[in-house]
């Protein structure tokens, strides 16, 4: 992913960032409600071998090319989901906002405050409509993490 070797679209890379190896498909789709065609994209990622489904009793394998990463805390998943959402909504303008998320602690309260600050920044410097879209989507995303 780092070197974009496979030429994946931004929305596909955003979904890959969110996959943590422990969340259920339902939970992942909840995190990605604002991403276009998340369910179809997840199915495609599984079909193409980028990720694999595991049962709750079956641990993920250590083959890094086709398996899900090992357990990540839900807070990290929340931050990654917020980053993916930012990229999805803002596209090329996301870099300006992502700098504001770099040092945010991986807690729900901190992410909520950071999302609000990002909303204000987007409204003032990028686009008011995108700012409102970002606020609504980030609130929906972060409310699902509680």
End-to-end Cα distance, the chain: 29
The per-residue pLDDT for range 102-111, each reduced to its tens digit, is 888 888 899 9
Q: What is the mean pLDDT of the chain?
A: 77
Q: What pLDDT is stored for residue 1 in this prediction?
A: 60
Q: What pLDDT is stored for residue 58 in this prediction?
A: 52
Q: What mean pLDDT comes out for the span 112-136?
A: 94
The per-residue pLDDT for range 45-101, each reduced to its tens digit, is 877 777 777 766 555 554 444 333 443 443 446 888 888 888 888 888 888 888 888
Burial annotation 79-94 (CB, 10 A radius, 16+ → b, else e)? bbbbbbbbbbbbeebb
């Amino acid at each position: 992913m780092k070197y974009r070797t496979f030429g994946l679209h931004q929305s596909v890379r955003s979904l890959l960032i969110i996959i943590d190896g422990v969340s259920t498909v339902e939970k992942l789709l909840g995190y990605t409600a604002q991403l276009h065609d998340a369910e179809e994209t997840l199915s495609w990622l599984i079909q193409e071998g980028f990720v694999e489904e595991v049962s709750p009793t079956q641990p993920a394998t250590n083959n890094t090319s086709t398996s899900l990463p090992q357990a990540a805390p839900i807070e990290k998943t929340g931050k990654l989901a917020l980053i993916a959402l930012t990229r999805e909504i803002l596209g090329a303008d996301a870099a300006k906002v992502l700098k504001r998320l770099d040092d945010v602690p991986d807690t729900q309260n901190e992410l909520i405050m950071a999302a609000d600050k990002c909303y204000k920044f987007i409204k003032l410097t990028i686009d008011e409509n995108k700012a409102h879209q970002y606020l609504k989507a980030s609130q929906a995303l972060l409310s699902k993490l509680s």
